[in-house]
Structures are given as C-alpha cells and as structure tokens.
Structure 1
Amino acid sequence: MNCHCAEIVTPGLLDLFDARQRLIDAATPINTVETITLEQSAGRVLAETLVAPLDMPGVDNSAMDGYALCLADYQAAPGGAGLPILQRVPAGAGVMLLPEGGCARIFTGAPVPMGADIVVPQERVTLDQRGHIHLEGSLVLGANIRRQGEETRMGTPLLAAGTFLDAASIALLASHGINTVNVKRRLRVALLSTGDELITPGTARAPGQVYDSNRAMLNVLLAQAQCDVLDLGVIADSPQSLHQAFEHAQTAADVVMCTGGVSVGEEDHVRPVIEQRGGLHFHGVAMKPGKPFAFGYLGAEPASSTPLMALPGNPVASLVGWQLLALPFIHAMQGRSVAALQSYPVKAGFSQRGPRGRCELLRVVLDWARELPVAQLAGGQGSHMLSAASQADGYLMINPETDVAEGSTYHYYPINQFAA
C-alpha cells in the first residue's frame, strides 16, 4: 500500500510506506539464542520452527457429553428397542472396546471406544424404563467425534521461527508436552531524549521548561515490545554531549533511539552528529505528524554499525513515528514476522481542510451510534497534544491535497494493532 505522497510530496520527504519498508528491509535480526522454560517464554520470539511431537488429538475422542454407539447396531435393534448402556467412559480413561449390542455413556474428551462410529449428545437421548437409549433427530456417521490427528499430525510444523509467543501459542506448545523453547535473546535499545528545556516529571518547573514525556512513553512502549531498555536520560543540546551519549549507546545496545533535536534549526544538533559518527539512510517522511523522523547508523559502515532511529520531539509525532515506523523495525530486528498494516474504510463525521504535501494521520474515535461506525476527531490535532492521542481509537489517513468531507470514506488504522 502507498499513501500516494510520492506523487505530490514536499521535495526531499520520503513516502510513509516506502520509509516503513526501507526500515524493515534494513533490519538485521539478532542471532543469539537462549533456551528457556515455557513459563518464561511469554513475549519472546521463537528461534526455530517447532514440529508437533504428537498427534493432536492423540486418539479419537468425544466432542460432547453423550452416548457412543455403533449406528448400525442401533438401527438393527428389533422394534425400536434401543440399546442398553453397557459401558461408562470418563475423560482420561484408556481406549476401550465397545460391548457388542450396547452403547457407552461417554464424556467430553474421553476416548471413543473401538467399534463406535457416532457420539449422540445427551440432549438428544431419552432413556426408557429398562435403561435403553432412544435417539432423536438426524444421525450422521462420525458425528461429534474428534479424529486422531485432525488438528496436527506428529512431525508436521507446529509454530514457525519468528513466532511471537503469546498465550495461545504457549498453550499450544503446552498441549504437546513441550516445556522448553529456543528463543532469540531480548533486543537491547538505548533510549535518550535531547533538549535543554526538558526536565524529569516530579521536579519543580521553571518558565520555559517542559516535562520529558517522550522518554516516559517510549520506555513503556519498548518494554511492551519485549526490549531491554538502557535509559540514558536527557542529553543537553550540544554536539559534545551528543557525541558522548552516542559513543556509549552504540557499544552498549543493538539499537539506539533518540527523540528531539532532529529538525533543521540552529539548536538541532542530532542530524549533524549522526552524520559525523556514521550516516543517515533517510531524514524526513511525508507524514503529519512525524515528518522529522530519521533513520541512520553509528559506526564506520552501515552493515557493521549500530542502527539509530531519531524520532521527533513533539510527543504525538514521536508516538506516531514509533507506531508506524520504529515498531516494525524493532520487530524485524527481533526476528519476528512483521505484520502488514491493517486498515478498513470508515466514514468521517466531520469536514476540514486536508493536508498539503504530506499524508495526515488524524487521531479519531469511532462513534457507533449508527449501524456503521463514524470517525470523529478525538480532540485537538496538534503534534504536541497528547490528550487527543490518549483518547483515540485509531487514525484516519488523509492523502495529500485531499480535503476531508463529512460522509466520505477514508482509510482507518486501528491503534490496537500497534500493541507490541
């Protein structure tokens, strides 16, 4: 997908989707592997493809509480006499042989006796005075029987290398008796903010000072993405301070991430320092907010250097840059399979002038009062306004030179897809 910025973009800016793909393509996955227990594996990335050690299910078993029988025996019973209950099969029992001329009381998950070819749910069974069963409704051979190996066969792929281990995948491994896994080690990310105006939350603020929200935000986002964070704090707006911070960061971490100082003003020193210590792959993306995003490296050669992502100083621009650009790069570095961006069409419940030269990501909430959702602005759209970002359900993407018309349809990107 492309936001079509390249056709009418401000000169020198890279199309958003081109920038995203360049980041993914540039990532070199870490190759160090650790062996850990299944209990420790939540949020880790599989280092190898796992194959099923067992058939799943291991035997034919019942999908219902009911009665297991041979349908032909029931149909052959004289005068609709039904079948006597000659066996009881609880979950955890071994595989039994169905008694000739009778049926088995069976429970969900219990092995289906050999000779039975149908399980009838107890809701469709009545018992006569002799304790014989009588069945109601249509009868289909094989009904309510989970066949051995119908989910997975022993030796077939279970989870691919690069799989992010969440609750469902961990449960799958546990169901096969697997209790240790080989995973990629955690990615180490050095994080720093730049700006003489920044102070730590909780300290007294003088006029002109600003609390550092970016570092607080990115610490959480990196932790949610299962990264180990080296927090280098706030770095002064001076080339010397940046040189010292980057020198430490490039040797201590797999990735360096900084915020602020990446524009082109007289006090924006990040770009020239990056170029002196390494180089830039690109600087400037045709997106609003987030235009100053930069991607480069620290070291002599790109292939053997430490990658660096410089996010804008405005907090909403930093957040959007993280979600759309930095996060897929982090996933690729971790060896994860990078998911494609998910979007669907949603109508706008407002009108406003469209962006010029860049695609714009409007922070919106979905109004479900009607049959179909309608996007409404979550609040002020300034790149410094975290209140709207904290309330938004997603982004309405508006192409350059396109005005927003109430009732018209635009691409909507739900924010929950960026949850690490």
Structure 2
Amino acid sequence: MNCQCAEIVTPGLLNLFDARQQLIKAATPINAVEKITLDQSAGRVMAEAVSSPHDMPGVDNSAMDGYALCLTDYQADAGLPILQRVPAGSGVMLLPKGGCARIFTGAPVPMGADTVVPQERVTLDQRGHIHIEGNLVGGANIRRQGEETRMGTPLLAAGEFLDAASIALLASHGINTVTVKRRLRVALLSTGDELISPGAARSPGQVYDSNRVMLNVLLAQAQCDVLDLGVIDDSPQLLHQAFDHAETVADVVVCTGGVSVGEEDHVRPVIEQRGGLHFHGVAMKPGKPFAFGYLGPVSSSSTPLIALPGNPVASLVGWQLLALPFIHAMQGRSVADLQCYPVKAGFSQRGPQGRCELLRVVLDWSKGTPVAQLAGGQGSHMLSAASQAHGYLMINPATEVIEGSSYHYYPINQFAA
C-alpha cells in the first residue's frame, strides 16, 4: 500500500510524495562493481543476476529420520527386515530387494525405494523387522531432486539486497563469490557555528552535533562508505571549500543545517553558486527545509547533494522518507513503496495547516488492536519522542485528529536500511 498525503499544500512547497519520486527518478546508479566472497557480502547489492548451477536438491533425499522402502515390498503381517543404513552424506545406494533401509534426514533415498516412513510410526518385532502404524502413501517424505530449483533457475536478480536469507540461498547452491555494486561514497558534513562534538564542554548557546552522529550511523546501515568532513562554520567561504572537496571525493554529498532562509543560512546560496537546486522545501512537518541539488556545472554529470534540516527530528524524517530511497536508487537497489496501514488515534489535536504532519507515535496493543499514542513532545528538536516511536501517524493538511478515527500509520522499521 502506497499511502499519500493530500495535494492541498502550502504554495511553493513540493508535495512529499512528488519530492520522493523526483529523488528516485533523478538517481543514477553507480556502475562500478567488484567481486567478493559471501562472507563479505552482507548488505551489498547484486550487480548481476545469479542462476542455480545445479538442481536443488541434487538427488532425492529423506525429509526426516525413518525407514526407506518400496511400498510393494511391505506386508503388514511379515514386516520388513532392515538390510541397509543410509546416513546423511553417503552416496546413492541400491535398496536390497525384500528389505528396507534405516535412513536419516537429508540422506539420499536408495534406488528402488519410493517411500520414507517416519520413525515415530515404526515398531520393531523380535526379529528386528519393522511394522508400520497407519496407512502408507507412496512418495511420502521424500524431497525430490530439483523440487526447489532446477539447474539454470534464477536465484537472485541484479539490484537485490543481500541479506541473511539470500546469502544462505547462494551458499546452499555452492556459490561463494558474487559480483556486487561498489559501495556508495557519501561525504557528510554539518553546518553551524553553534555546533560542538559530544563530550566537549558546552558553553551557553552551543549545541551538541547529534545530526552528524546520527547520519554516520544511518549511512553505515545503508552500506555506504562515509567521508566525514566534520562541522563547517556558518561561512560561505568555508562552505565553498568543503563542497569543493566533497564533490571530488564522493558520489553523493549530504549536509545538515543552514538550509533555511535566515541571514546565517548559507547552504542554499552556496549550492546555487556551485551548481543548482532541483527543489527546496517540502510540504511536510517536520522536514520542510529539505533541499535536493547538485554540485557542478551540469546537473546530469554533477555530484548530487542532499541538504537536510538542522533540527534533528526533521533531519531524521527527511532521511527516512526522502534521502534513503535516493541512496537506494543510487546503489542500484529496487526502491520499495512506502508501507502503511490504518491505525486509530488514541488522542485528539488540531490538524496541520498547509503541510502533512508526521506525528511520532507508539502503538498500544492492550485492547487487542493497535491504537496510536503520541510518543512524547512533537517538536522537531525533540529526539526523545523520535527515539521511542514505533512509527509515524500521517495527518493530511487541514485534517483534525479525532480520538478513535483512523489515519495512515507508517512503521519505522521499514526504514531500516
């Protein structure tokens, strides 16, 4: 489900979902690739498709511990003698006529056997013959050769993200090397005279730089190589120098702060002097000052730049809803639609004006169905609520929040890179 907020937005601001699509469309996937082993591949992006080199399973094998037999050989009164033992890892054997084989999970089914009976249904008489409880079904409990994949069956497509399950799939087919996209290089910087590093002594008016710490983590989770350029003071000259370096060493530049329209907000004019802006201002709360531009003379061949707001929650929301899909598209990944579902509000409040609002909420399941409650203060500087939130309740412009009414809920776990 791809839920969207209403088209009624403040003039001059871009609709959130239009901005998201513009970013995805503007992304040019990197072409550089490298070959790596599976133990290095977690979180990487497939650069080319991979097909199965052989049938899986490679031979008929037993789905459980039990006894392999030919159904026509079994007589209930006489039972069957155990004439063979087949452990996992053995070769394909020939079932002796008139007897059965003790077999274990994953072991090749002997030629001549057409059924495996679970050991729980078998008893042994004094002669050591097996007797079976219940009805026999031909072909039961046998994993057939190629029932999962045949040789040449596509396993993973180009652009797929390598997680634990997909890596295990490749390993199960004996594949140990994959061709993946090179990691995206992202230059990261914060702007602001007031910013200091966590752990430093703080004077009145100074602010700890949480954005750069947060984005370092988020970019690393997104499998990017981060070039941390530190904090840049509110100086056009210093910004020019930082951007000049960033566009020569990175595939993408991400900066935070200084992107509004105040006298000390220099990021926008410097971007426009060094390149240009695709858009500035998105009709969402928090996150309105979000900007997307480029560094260089020509948009199509320049270094893309994402400018996130300075308020930390606005920066986080801008990353999750707008910057992350752009990064995924640059990596050559398939960008998933935003997932949302209706959830009732457990509170009432006035609706937003001119922008859709993303309320940080937690889900209360105490009554059997989820009810959204505010996670705390909703200011764009209040990380405490953002750190507790399970997701966002999106409220369309000019829409009142009424307790008991349903609104679009976006789980935060979908933004885990």
TM over 0.5: yes
Match of 2:111 in 1: 114
Confirm whether residue 197 of structure 1 aligns to residue 200 of structure 2.
no
Give deviations 1:135-168, integer Å, cap 9, x for gaps. Answer: 2234322211111111111111111111111111
Given the alignment of the two structures, is residue 289 of structure 1 paired with residue 286 of structure 2, yes or no? yes
Which residue does 2:391 correspond to in 1? 394
Contact 1:2 1:18 in 2 (8 A): no
Between 336-345 and 192-201, report the one with greater CA deviation: 336-345
Query: Does the aligned pair in 1 maintain the 2:3–2:339 contact within 8 Å?
Result: no
- Partner deviation per Cα, 1:322-374 (whole Å, 9 max, x = no partner): 01110111111111121221222222111111211111111111112121121
Which residue, 267, 279, 282 being the options, matches 2:276?
279
What's 1:407 paired with? 404
CA distance in 2, matches of 1:351, 1:397: 14
* Equivalent residue, structure 1, for 2:5: 4
1:219-264 Cα deviation digits (max 9, x unpaired): 1111111111111111111211111111111111000000011111
Match of 2:225 in 1: 228
Aligned to 1:80, the other structure's residue is in SS state coil
Query: Residue 48 of structure 1 corresponds to which residue in structure 2?
Result: 48
Mapped partners of 1:32, 1:208: distance in 2 = 45
1:63-102 maps to which residues of 2 (within 5 A)? 63-74=63-74, 77=75, 80-102=77-99
Give the 5 Å matches for 1:365-404. Answer: 365-404=362-401
Counterpart of 1:100, as a letter, is K
Q: Does the 8 A contact of 2:3 with 2:338 survive in 1?
A: no
Structure 1 Cα separation of the partners of residues 341 and 137 of structure 2: 41
The alpha carbon displacement at 1:5 in A equals: 3.2
Q: Give the TM-score normalised by structure 1.
A: 0.97
* 1:26 paired to 2:26: yes
Once the 2 structures are TM-superposed, how far is the Cα of residue 188 of structure 1 from its aligned partner? 0.5
Aligned residues: 416
Does the aligned pair in 1 maintain the 2:3–2:340 contact within 8 Å? Answer: no
Deviation at residue 98 of structure 1 after TM alignment:
1.4
The whole-number CA distance in structure 2 between the counterparts of 1:39 and 1:196 is 43
The separation in 2 between residues aligned to 1:138 and 1:371, in whole angstroms, is 43
Q: Which residue identity is paired with 2:252?
A: V
Per-residue Cα deviation, 1:18-58 (whole angstroms, up to 9, x for no partner)? 11111111111111111112211111111110111111111
> Of 325, 328, 336, which residue of structure 2 is paired with 1:328?
325
CA distance in 1, matches of 2:312, 2:152: 49
CA distance in 2, matches of 1:81, 1:343: 62
Note the 1:261-272 alignment, pairs <5 A.
261-272=258-269
Match in the other structure for 2:254: 257
Distance 1:40 1:2 in 2: 36
Residue 17 (1) aligns with residue 26 (2):
no
| % identity of equivalent residues | 86
Indicate the SS of the match to 1:31.
Answer: coil
**2:342 counterpart residue number:** 345
1:156 matched to 2:153? The reply is: yes
TM-score by length of 2: 0.97
Q: CA RMSD in A?
A: 1.2
Would you identify which runs of 4 or more consecutive aligned residues in structure 1 move more than 4 Å? none
2:174 matches 1:177: yes
* Separation in structure 2 between the aligned mates of residue 323 and residue 359 of structure 1, nearest angstrom: 15
Question: Retained in 2: the 8 A contact 1:3–1:359?
Answer: no
Give the aligned residue type for 1:15: N
Q: Which residue of 2 aligns with 1:243?
A: 240
